[in-house]
Each structure stands twice: as structure tokens, then as C-alpha cells.
Amino acid sequence: MTIHTENPIIEVHDLTVSYNNKPVLWNVDFTLPAGEMIGIIGPNGAGKSTLLKSLMNLIPNNSGYIKLFNDDLDKVRHKISYVPQRESVDWDFPASVMDVALMGRYKPNNIFKRFTSEDKDIAAEALKRVNMLDYAKRQISQLSGGQQQRAFLARALAQQADLYLMDEPFAGVDAATEKTIVELFMSMKAEGKTILVVHHDLQSAADYFNWILLVNTRLVASGPTKEVFTPEMLRETYGGKLTVLTKVGEIIAETQFPIRES
């Protein structure tokens, strides 16, 4: 069940993505509204993070196209902030929390210049919003998981984007931090930002998001939470992979068959 929206902020058309020639997302097609809290929900290995990465063109796709702000990614990058999974970086890197927040001020056109005092103010403000200003000088390896996540969020806030793509921001953080982050997202939404979050806790999903994408190697549903977050849809999402589809994927991987005739 896919409910489309007028003037979408994200439009994904017939997207197929594979790793090592094994499709992990098949023919995905959806549109997402601006100014909403949107959740990408699905079991482990369903391709949730892959979907986020292909939106940012971090992995190549086999077919289809993606439009963001009704444009190509390269023209609207400055309006988008991507927050990778916390484990994707080495936190033993010699940097302070402030250094990480300031990375949000890097732009290809200012990368040769020093940070202005405005940049520093924006980064400090971002740290304040995630309650990390007191830790600004702390070495990042000394942070707890929740604090690391908040440092990443501060970097994202410092980017002053309109669309935020967050990969598992609630993974491995304590309840108090989760609450802080949710409140932050709500206030961002009130400012008109669009937030797309990879999430795997069904309990909280209905509370957090007003639009939901259900994914399990294919798109099961996309639409307002009330309409798609139903027992029936969830059963379809979590009821295991489609055996025929999985089998075909394995054959493609084994024979190194092209995913599209070109």
C-alpha cells in the first residue's frame, strides 16, 4: 500500500539497490511529504539503512531515480543533513566534541577558509540544543553512547539543513537520551524541518512518526501512520522475507547476472 503525496520532498522511483550483486531493495517507489517526522521501519537486514544511503548516493543503484526537493542531489546537498550510524566512525579519533560539531560547518566552498566566529556560534548553539555544551572540550573517546549520538546530532544541527536523514539515532542510547532526542526532533519539526529516521522499535514508532515507510527488501507500505501502521501491514513486513524473491536474489548473486538488461 503506497500513499503518494503532492509536492513531495523526496521522490523515489523504481529504485533497486544491490550489494555484491545481490539485490537488497527491489523496485522501491514512494513519495514523502515535507515538514513531517517520518519513520523507516522494518526487521534487521530489511534494507532500511541501504535506503537512506542510496538517497545520499553513498551506494550506487541498479535502477530508478531519486529526486530531493524535486531536484538532483548535487544541486540541493546544502539543504540536506545525513547522520550515519554511530558505530560507523572510530570514536578514538583525536578530536573534541566541538571539533565534531564544527564539521557541520564544512562546505565544499569554504573548506579552505578558517572557521568564522559565526560558525563557532552556530556549532555552540547546536551543542546547547542537545545538552552537550558542557562537554564541548571533551575528547570524543570519553563519551558514552548517548553522548556520541548527541555529538553527531549537534553536527547535523550545525549544518542548518531542511531535510535530515538519520540512521538509527536511537540505537544503543539510554531512555533519557532517547527522550531528549525525540523532543529535539519534535522542535525541529515545529520549525518546518523534515526528519527521516531509520527506526526498529515498533512500540514507540506510532508515537514518534506521523508518516511511516514499512520496508523488508521491498516497500510494504508508505503513508500516514494511522493508515499504514496496521497489524495487517506489520504482519506483512515482519512475516519473513518473500521466499521466491529471496531465491531469485540468490540466483542473481550466484550467477553474477546483471540486475537490469542494459
Partner 1 sequence: MTAFQNIVDFLSLKEANVRYVVLGTILLSVASSVIGCFALLRKRALIVDSISHSILPGVCIGFMVSGTKDPFFLLAGAMLTGWLSIYFIDIITRYSKIKADTAIGLNLSVFFAVGILLLTVIQNSGNPNQSGLSDFLFGKAATMVLADLYVFGGMALFVISGVALFYKQFVLLSFDLHFAKTIGLNIKFYEFILSILTVMAVAIGIQTVGVVLMAAMLITPAATARYWTDNLRKMLVIAAVIGALSGIVGAFISYSYENMPTGPWIVIVFSLIAMLSMIFSPKKGIVAKWMRQRRNSHKMMEDNILKAFYHLGEKEGDFHKKRTVEDLMGLRKFERNKLLNGLKWLSAENTIVHINNTYVLSKRGKATGARIVKIHRLWELYLKKYLRVADDHVHDDAETIEHIITPELEIQLEKLLDYPTEDQHNQKIPYSK
Distance from C-alpha of 51 to C-alpha of 168, rounded to nearest angstrom? 13
Range in contact with partner 1 (rule: CB under 8 A) among 6-14, 79-87, 170-178, 246-254? 79-87
Local structure of 257: helix, strand or coil: coil
Shortest distance (Å) from residue 8 CB to partner 1: 20
- Going by C-alpha positions, the residue among 169, 194, 168, 199 that lies closest to residue 76 is 194
Shortest distance (Å) from residue 127 CB to partner 1: 17
Nearer to partner 1, 83 or 213 (CB): 83
β-bridge mates for residue 166, sequence order: 83, 197
Nearer to partner 1, 74 or 191 (CB): 74
154-173 residues near partner 1, rule: CB under 8 A: 155, 159
Using CB under 8 A, pick the residue from 13, 22, 77, 128 that binds partner 1. 77
Distance from C-alpha of 15 to C-alpha of 112, rounded to nearest angstrom? 36
Contacts of 26 by beta carbon, 8 Å cutoff, 6+ apart: 16, 217, 218, 245
Determine contact, residues 100/93, Cβ cutoff 8 Å.
Answer: no
Shortest distance (Å) from residue 173 CB to partner 1: 19
93 binds partner 1 (CB under 8 A): yes
2-61 residues near partner 1, rule: CB under 8 A: 53, 56-58
Which helix (H) or strand (E) segment holds residue 13: the answer is: strand 10-19
Local structure of 56: helix, strand or coil: coil
Nearer to partner 1, 1 or 95 (CB): 95
Distance from C-alpha of 122 to C-alpha of 154, rounded to nearest angstrom? 10
Using CB under 8 A, pick the residue from 7, 70, 107, 116 that binds partner 1. 107
88 binds partner 1 (CB under 8 A): yes
Which helix (H) or strand (E) segment holds residue 51: the answer is: helix 48-55
Shortest distance (Å) from residue 244 CB to partner 1: 28
Residues near partner 1 (CB under 8 A) are 53, 56-58, 74, 77-78, 80-82, 84, 88-90, 93-96, 99-100, 103, 106-108, 111-112, 139, 141, 155, 159
